[in-house]
Chain A
Amino acid sequence: MKTYAIYLAKRLLQFVLVVFIGINLTYVISHATPIDPVEQTISALTSFGNTSPEAIETMRESLRELYGMSGTPLEQYVSFWSRIVVGDFGPSLSAFPTPVSELILRALPWTIGLLVVATVLAWLLGNLLGGLAGYYRKNRLLKAMGLIAMGLHPMPYYVVAFVLLVVFGFLWPVLPISGGSGIGVGRGFSFDFISSVLLHSLLPALSLVVVGLGGWFLGMRALVSNIVTEDYVVYAELGGVDRRRILTSYVMRNALVPQVTGLAMSLGAIFTGAIITEEVFGYPGIGSLLVDAVHAGDYSLVLGITSVSIVAVSLAVLVIDLLYPLLDPRVQVE
Chain B
Amino acid sequence: MLKIFRDLLRFNLEFAIGTLIVSIIVGLSVLSFFSPYPPEDIYVVAPDVPPSWEYWLGTTSRGQDVFWQMTAALRNTLLFGIAVAAISRVISLTIGLVSGYMGGMTDRVLMSINDTFIIIPLFPILVLFYFVMRDSMSWALLALIMAALGWAYDARLIRSVAMSLRTREFTSQCIFSGMSPRQIMTREHLPYVLPIVFSTTLNNMNWSIGMEVTLSVLGFTDINTPTIGSMLYWANQHTALVAGVWWWIAWPVIAVMLLFIGLYLLATALNEYIDPRSRLSRMGGAT
CB neighbours of B121 from chain A (8 A): 268-269, 271-272, 275, 309-310, 313
- Over the window 5-33 of chain A, the binary record of Cβ atoms lying under 8 Å from chain B Cβ atoms (1 yes, 0 no) is 00000000110011001100110011001
- Does B241 interact with chain A (Cβ within 8 Å)? yes
Given A150-B264, A156-B214: A272 in contact with B123 (beta carbons within 8 A): yes
What separation, in Å, do the CA atoms of A317 and B120 have in the docked complex?
10
CB neighbours of B163 from chain A (8 A): none
- Does B218 interact with chain A (Cβ within 8 Å)? yes
Closest to B242 in A: A170
25 example contacts (A-B, Cβ-Cβ < 8 A) are as follows A18-B115, A18-B116, A22-B120, A29-B128, A30-B132, A33-B132, A35-B136, A150-B264, A155-B210, A159-B210, A159-B257, A163-B253, A166-B249, A225-B278, A226-B277, A229-B281, A268-B118, A268-B120, A268-B122, A294-B220, A302-B131, A305-B124, A306-B125, A313-B119, A314-B120
Interface size of B by CB at 8 A reads 50
Interface residues of B in 107-133 (CB under 8 A from A): 112-113, 115-125, 127-133
| Residue contact B213 to A158, C-beta cutoff 8 Å | yes
Closest to B271 in A: A222
| Residue contact B218 to A291, C-beta cutoff 8 Å | yes
- Does A124 interact with chain B (Cβ within 8 Å)? no
Given A265-B119, A294-B220: A229 in contact with B124 (beta carbons within 8 A): no
- Does B4 interact with chain A (Cβ within 8 Å)? no
What separation, in Å, do the CA atoms of A265 and B155 have in the docked complex?
14
Binding site for B on A (CB under 8 A): 13-14, 17-18, 21-22, 25-26, 29-30, 33-35, 37, 40, 137, 150-151, 153-159, 162-163, 166, 170, 222, 225-226, 228-229, 264-265, 267-269, 271-272, 275-276, 279, 290-291, 294, 299, 302-303, 305-306, 309-310, 313-314, 317
Max count, chain B CB within 10 A of own CB: residue among A18, A170, A264, A313:
A18
Interface residues of B in 233-261 (CB under 8 A from A): 241, 249, 253, 256-257, 260-261
| Residue contact B256 to A159, C-beta cutoff 8 Å | yes
Extra A-B contacts (12), CB below 8 Å, given A156-B206, A309-B124: A14-B116, A18-B116, A22-B116, A29-B128, A30-B128, A33-B132, A33-B133, A159-B213, A226-B277, A294-B131, A294-B220, A313-B119
CB neighbours of A302 from chain B (8 A): 127-128, 131
| Residue contact A151 to B261, C-beta cutoff 8 Å | yes
Given A29-B132, A150-B264: A158 in contact with B210 (beta carbons within 8 A): yes
CB neighbours of B19 from chain A (8 A): none
- The distance from the CB of B63 to the nearest CB of chain A, in whole angstroms, is 24
What separation, in Å, do the CA atoms of A21 and B112 have in the docked complex?
11
- Does B268 interact with chain A (Cβ within 8 Å)? yes
| Residue contact A222 to B123, C-beta cutoff 8 Å | no
